[in-house]
């Protein structure tokens, strides 16, 4: 299993944005999500998905759902020993949760990196964290328009459909995705997924 735990940077300044966040988190959907993202413990967000790092794009999609708020994200890979079958991740426990917490606490207060992985395998973590550090550096530069273009293009599958949804020309969607280095981000996410697949037999696989 993979647990994604996030906290909101400078949450005390978020104000009314936090009030609307629950519905936006619940709208994040993915075939591998075991529990929807939800808030608890103040400004902390958490969700659980199947497999060892088989949905790394969920970190990016979570960030999009929380905009303009910024997140620190810890990704834990391991087992769920208690609470399986619960509709809420907050009723579960296990090594995946412990490692997600360790990953989150390893992050500093600076601009980057904003994502960390803990799996119990140092070599795996080194590679995964290097990829996510590069993706964080790219995505932190995205404008609101680039976030929208990437989100709609990924969800709808074509520049034309994304343009119609956004009310802009398909060429503008393409330009925004190119300026956002979207192909490079997608390639890095695919590499993370393959990394998780190769480590599936390891003790941390879940």
Q: What is the dihedral of CA 14, 15, 16, 18, to 10 degrees?
A: 50
Contact of 73 with 117, CB cutoff 8 Å: no
Asked if the structure places residue 153 within a domain, the reply is no
Asked if the structure places residue 180 within a domain, the reply is no
Asked if the structure places residue 179 within a domain, the reply is no
Asked if the structure places residue 74 within a domain, the reply is yes
Predicted TM-score (pTM) of the model is 0.89
Asked if the structure places residue 59 within a domain, the reply is yes
Distance CA 152, CA 158 (A): 9
DSSP label of 29:
-
pLDDT in tens, 74-100: 999 998 886 676 667 776 788 998 999
Distance CA 100, CA 86 (A): 18
Asked if the structure places residue 61 within a domain, the reply is yes
Domain CATH for 101: 3.30.70.270
Tokens of 115: 């994502």
Host domain of residue 18 = 2-140
Asked if the structure places residue 192 within a domain, the reply is no
Asked if the structure places residue 90 within a domain, the reply is yes
Contact of 60 with 139, CB cutoff 8 Å: yes
Tokens of 37: 């993202």
pLDDT in tens, 38-81: 887 667 899 999 999 999 999 999 999 999 989 999 999 998 88
Domains held by the chain: number: 1
């Amino acid at each position: 299993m993979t647990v994604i735990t996030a906290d909101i940077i400078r949450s005390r300044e978020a104000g009314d944005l936090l009030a609307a966040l629950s519905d936006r988190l619940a709208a994040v959907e993915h075939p591998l999500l075991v529990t929807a993202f939800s808030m608890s413990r103040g400004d902390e967000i958490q969700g659980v998905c199947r497999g060892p790092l088989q949905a790394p794009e969920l970190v990016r999609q979570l960030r999009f759902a929380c905009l303009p708020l910024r997140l620190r994200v810890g990704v834990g890979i391991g087992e769920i020993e208690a609470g399986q079958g619960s509709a809420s991740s907050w009723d579960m426990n296990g090594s995946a949760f412990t490692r997600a917490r360790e990953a989150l606490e390893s992050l500093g207060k600076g601009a980057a990196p904003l994502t960390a992985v803990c799996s119990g395998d140092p070599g795996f973590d080194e590679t995964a964290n290097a990829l996510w550090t590069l993706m964080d550096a790219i995505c932190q530069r995205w404008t609101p328009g680039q976030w929208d273009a990437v989100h709609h293009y990924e969800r709808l599958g074509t520049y034309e459909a994304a343009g119609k949804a956004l009310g802009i020309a398909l060429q503008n969607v393409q330009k925004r995705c190119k300026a956002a280095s979207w192909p490079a981000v997608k390639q890095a996410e695919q590499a993370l997924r393959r990394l998780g697949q190769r480590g599936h037999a390891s003790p941390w696989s879940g």
